[in-house]
Structure 1
Amino acid sequence: MVEDDDFRDEAPSKSALKREMSARQALGEALCALSPKELEAIPIDDPRLENAIVQSRGITSRSARRRHLQYIGKLMRSVDPAPLQAALDGLHQQRAASAARHHELEALRDELVERGDSGLATVLARFPEADRQHLRQLLRQAQREKAAERPPAAARKLFRYLRELQSAGA
């Protein structure tokens, strides 16, 4: 009787196996949602799995897509999910960092337009290589547009210039 207790402790439960298979299928679905460029960064060793993921892009029927995702889940059983999950997490972190930089630049641009010349010091302290005259010219245009309630074309140019400065500094 003691041996049966030891055996039960070692084998995973049926519920645990189902959770693991569901997690692998969810990972497969996340891989299907990636763009072709992003998928190239993921280390997929099984050519059948990679082919199935690429094929999933062309399936538009809801039921056919569901069946195909189940097939991908079946193929995921024979693959170690750890490197795939790590690469996917790294990709999500890159996206989050890029979005954070974008929002930071938007806030900097908005602050610059609101504060005017007094905001230039903040930008020049952060980007010392910035062309002061060009920056001031873009600022003036953005302020005039805002005052006239026109579409923010100059504000977009100002944002692009700040993004160029950020990428040159990185």
Structure 2
Amino acid sequence: MSEHLEDDFIEEKSKTQVKREFLALQDLGARLAGLKPDILNRLPLNDALLKALEESPRHTKHIARKRHNQYLGKLLRGHDVEAIQSVLDNFDSASREYNNRFHQLERWRERLLDEGDDALQELMLEYPDIDSQHLRGLIRQAQHERAREKPPLAARKLFKYLREMAEQNL
């Protein structure tokens, strides 16, 4: 009989825990409000939440923004927060997943500049829908700039292209 009472006690949440969870949902809502529409479309969100997120920029005063974040938190209660969080981590520069992906893209750029076509063939196996002709042109420009010790404008364009390509495949 004491086990039954302990099980009931474990499943109940304290008022503090409920409040912490709701504040976490509000913070998540505020993060979502700052995202671009193309990223929001990748998230598993319903129409009511998407509409509320579109209205977020209109709320500029402190109390209006706070009240709107509370509303976003309320709308997020019915969503799979873990799925949303995992997708967000790919786009949030403070997350470990984003940093790992960023460093991987930097390594790809350096390999493409150092190894040339061999690395490009490997990249094309990983990302088959890549525009290889455009990528070859960017690689050649970046190699040319590197050889002449010029600022790495083409290398930056190459990285930007790699980032866009990786984001499309997420």
TM-score (norm 1): 0.60
- Relative to structure 1, the CA distance from residue 68 to residue 151 in structure 2 (aligned partners, 3 Å threshold; closer, same or farther) is same
Q: Is the 8 A contact 1:41 1:87 kept in 2?
A: no
Gaps of 5+ in 1: 113-118
Where do residues 57-136 of structure 1 align in structure 2 (5 Å cutoff)? 57-77=57-77, 79=78, 81-82=79-80, 84-93=81-90, 96=98, 99-108=102-111, 112=113, 119=114, 122-128=115-121
How far, CA to CA, are the matches of 1:50 and 1:137 in structure 2?
A: 41
Shift of 1:73: 1.9
Structure with max Cα Rg: 1
How far, CA to CA, are the matches of 1:136 and 1:76 in structure 2?
A: 47
How far, CA to CA, are the matches of 1:137 and 1:10 in structure 2?
A: 61
How far, CA to CA, are the matches of 2:37 and 2:147 in structure 1?
A: 41
Q: Amino acid of the residue matched to residue 92 of structure 1? A: D
Secondary structure at the aligned position of 2:147 is classed as: helix
Q: Amino acid of the residue matched to residue 83 of structure 2? A: A
Shift of 1:55: 0.5
How far, CA to CA, are the matches of 1:57 and 1:19 in structure 2?
A: 25
Secondary structure at the aligned position of 1:127 is classed as: helix
Q: Amino acid of the residue matched to residue 86 of structure 2? A: D
How far, CA to CA, are the matches of 1:106 and 1:126 in structure 2?
A: 9
How far, CA to CA, are the matches of 2:33 and 2:102 in structure 1?
A: 22
Q: Which moved more, 1:13-22 or 1:95-104?
A: 95-104
Counterpart in the other structure of 1:17? 18
May I ask how many residue pairs the two structures share in their alignment? 144
Q: CA RMSD in A?
A: 3.9
Counterpart in the other structure of 1:116? none
Shift of 1:143: 1.6
Percent of pairs with identical residues: 30
Q: Amino acid of the residue matched to residue 147 of structure 2? A: Q
Shift of 1:126: 1.8
Q: Is the 8 A contact 2:111 2:119 kept in 1?
A: no
Shift of 1:108: 3.4
TM-score (norm 2): 0.60
